[in-house]
């Protein structure tokens, strides 16, 4: 198979982890006889430094011309405490999502057995958890009108029916291939946009009579996720609630460093770790590259339909964990046989097992 992949490492540890993710794609291509070509482009803080823009036109052109995008992270500490900064790295990420029509963000939460004890949740509550989040990614308060006066500010939380319907269909389709259970999360007891959300989910559910639908309010869902993660199978929710709940859910998988995501919709798919740029550990060879590696696995599966290749990558990660190799974020002092490795070294262990 011939494919063109754009690598967009972005900021902070995005650079280090994406290097490993790309090597995994190269190894897969060599092993299975595929011809992958690569290009690289700038986004976020590094793009602002180089061009003044968080998403330069050149990057967007390259994105549209590629078959899939392996993405790192955006963000830089220098903007976080400067509420008045006009140009911010995150604007590049949001513009990319909008321009590429990436309305569905899939965040699978799968716990590798070896990491049961590295979560702060009790192993007996966690064991067997397997959740697939569908976070809506191009609507909501993220993209609604923003207003600012001298002494007030507002962000419009807005959803259109078509936006809810298209993410709902993706989630229902996925539910049909899994446990035929779908949880929709909203705040319909307070928000009008959530009442529209719920109404559309109920309408779409008529086309999927086999799927059992459960509606939960976001506050209750946040509580249940820790209390009883096995109750969750496929979850569909809006952009802001999805942002928050999936960070919480990452603790089920042991660490943010383990979680991959796929953003898909109208054009090229983007595959990225859910963790951010983590400037505190940047350049120290400490970052866990597994989220990027697992993002590469999602890319192979979803954008290229290469199921066996994708499974090969996931199995390599599993074997590395079984062999006792860990990065700092998933280390557990109660398991003495563990060997702590750096980003590059654990990447090599993964590559050896593909």
Catalytic residue set: 142, 187, 219, 243, 247
Residue 253 interacting entry, from ligand IPM, Mn ion, none, C-beta within 5 to 8 Å by type:
none
Whose Cβ is closer to ligand IPM: residue 258's or residue 274's?
Answer: 274
271 to 330, contacts with ligand IPM by CB under 6 A? Answer: 274, 276
Q: How far is the CB of 263 from Mn ion (least distance, A)?
A: 12
Q: How far is the CB of 104 from ligand IPM (least distance, A)?
A: 13
Site of tokens 């192979």: 300
Whose Cβ is closer to ligand IPM: residue 90's or residue 349's?
Answer: 90
Residue 90 interacting entry, from Mn ion, ligand IPM, none, C-beta within 5 to 8 Å by type:
ligand IPM
Q: Give me the residues that bind Mn ion (CB under 5 A), please.
A: 243
Whose Cβ is closer to ligand IPM: residue 243's or residue 312's?
Answer: 243
Q: How far is the CB of 151 from ligand IPM (least distance, A)?
A: 26
Mode of pairing for the β-strands spanning 212-217 and 234-237: unpaired
Cβ 324 vs Cβ 339: under 8 Å: yes
Q: Does 233 bind ligand IPM (CB under 6 A)?
A: no
Whose Cβ is closer to ligand IPM: residue 174's or residue 274's?
Answer: 274
Q: Does 93 bind ligand IPM (CB under 6 A)?
A: yes
Residue nearest to Mn ion (CB): 243
Instruction: Tell me which of 26, 67, 90, 130 binds ligand IPM, using CB under 6 A.
Output: 90
Q: How far apart are CA 271 and CA 214, in angstroms?
A: 29
Whose Cβ is closer to ligand IPM: residue 62's or residue 107's?
Answer: 107
User: Nearest to residue 157, comparing CAs of 106, 195, 101?
Assistant: 195
Q: How far apart are CA 285 and CA 342, in angstroms?
A: 5
Q: Does 264 bind ligand IPM (CB under 6 A)?
A: no
Whose Cβ is closer to ligand IPM: residue 14's or residue 276's?
Answer: 276
> How many residues lie near ligand IPM (CB under 6 A)?
7
Residue nearest to ligand IPM (CB): 90
Instruction: Tell me which of 114, 163, 243, 309 binds ligand IPM, using CB under 6 A.
Output: 243
Q: How far is the CB of 74 from ligand IPM (least distance, A)?
A: 6
Q: Phi and psi dihedrals of 294, rounded to 5?
A: -70, -25
Q: How far is the CB of 56 from ligand IPM (least distance, A)?
A: 18
Site of tokens 């799968």: 110
Whose Cβ is closer to ligand IPM: residue 222's or residue 323's?
Answer: 222
Residue 93 interacting entry, from Mn ion, ligand IPM, none, C-beta within 5 to 8 Å by type:
ligand IPM
Using CB under 6 A, list all residues that contact ligand IPM.
Answer: 74-75, 90, 93, 243, 274, 276
């Amino acid at each position: 198979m011939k494919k063109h992949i754009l690598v967009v490492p972005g900021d902070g540890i995005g650079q280090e982890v994406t290097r490993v993710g790309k090597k995994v794609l190269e190894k897969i291509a060599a092993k299975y006889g595929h011809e992958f070509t690569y290009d690289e482009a700038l986004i976020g803080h590094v793009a602002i430094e180089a061009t003044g823009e968080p998403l330069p036109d050149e990057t967007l052109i390259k994105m549209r011309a590629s078959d899939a995008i392996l993405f790192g992270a955006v963000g830089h500490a220098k903007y976080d405490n400067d509420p008045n900064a006009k140009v911010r790295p995150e604007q590049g990420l949001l513009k990319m999502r909008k321009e590429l029509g990436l309305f569905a963000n899939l965040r699978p939460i799968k716990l590798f057995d070896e990491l049961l004890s590295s979560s702060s949740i009790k192993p007996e509550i966690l064991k067997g958890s397997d959740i697939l989040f569908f976070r809506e990614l191009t609507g909501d308060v993220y993209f609604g009108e923003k207003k600012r006066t001298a002494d007030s500010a507002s962000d419009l939380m807005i959803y259109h029916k078509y936006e809810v319907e298209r993410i709902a269909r993706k989630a229902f389709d996925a539910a049909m291939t899994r446990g035929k259970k779908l949880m929709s999360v909203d705040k319909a007891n307070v928000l009008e946009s959530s009442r529209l959300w719920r109404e559309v989910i109920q309408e779409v559910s008529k086309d999927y009579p086999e799927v059992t639908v459960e509606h939960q309010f976001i506050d209750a869902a946040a509580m249940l996720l820790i209390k009883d993660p096995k109750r969750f199978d496929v979850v569909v929710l809006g952009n802001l609630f999805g942002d928050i709940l999936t960070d919480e859910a990452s603790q089920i998988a042991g660490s943010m460093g383990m979680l991959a995501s796929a953003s898909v919709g109208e054009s090229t798919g983007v595959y990225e770790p859910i963790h951010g740029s983590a400037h505190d550990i940047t350049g120290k060879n400490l970052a866990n590259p597994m989220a990027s590696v697992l993002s590469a696995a999602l890319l192979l599966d979803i954008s290229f339909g290469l199921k066996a290749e994708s499974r090969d990558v996931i199995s390599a990660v599993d074997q590395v964990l079984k062999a006792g190799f860990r990065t700092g974020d998933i280390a557990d002092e109660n398991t003495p046989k563990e060997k702590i490795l750096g980003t590059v070294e654990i990447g090599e262990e993964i590559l050896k097992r593909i």
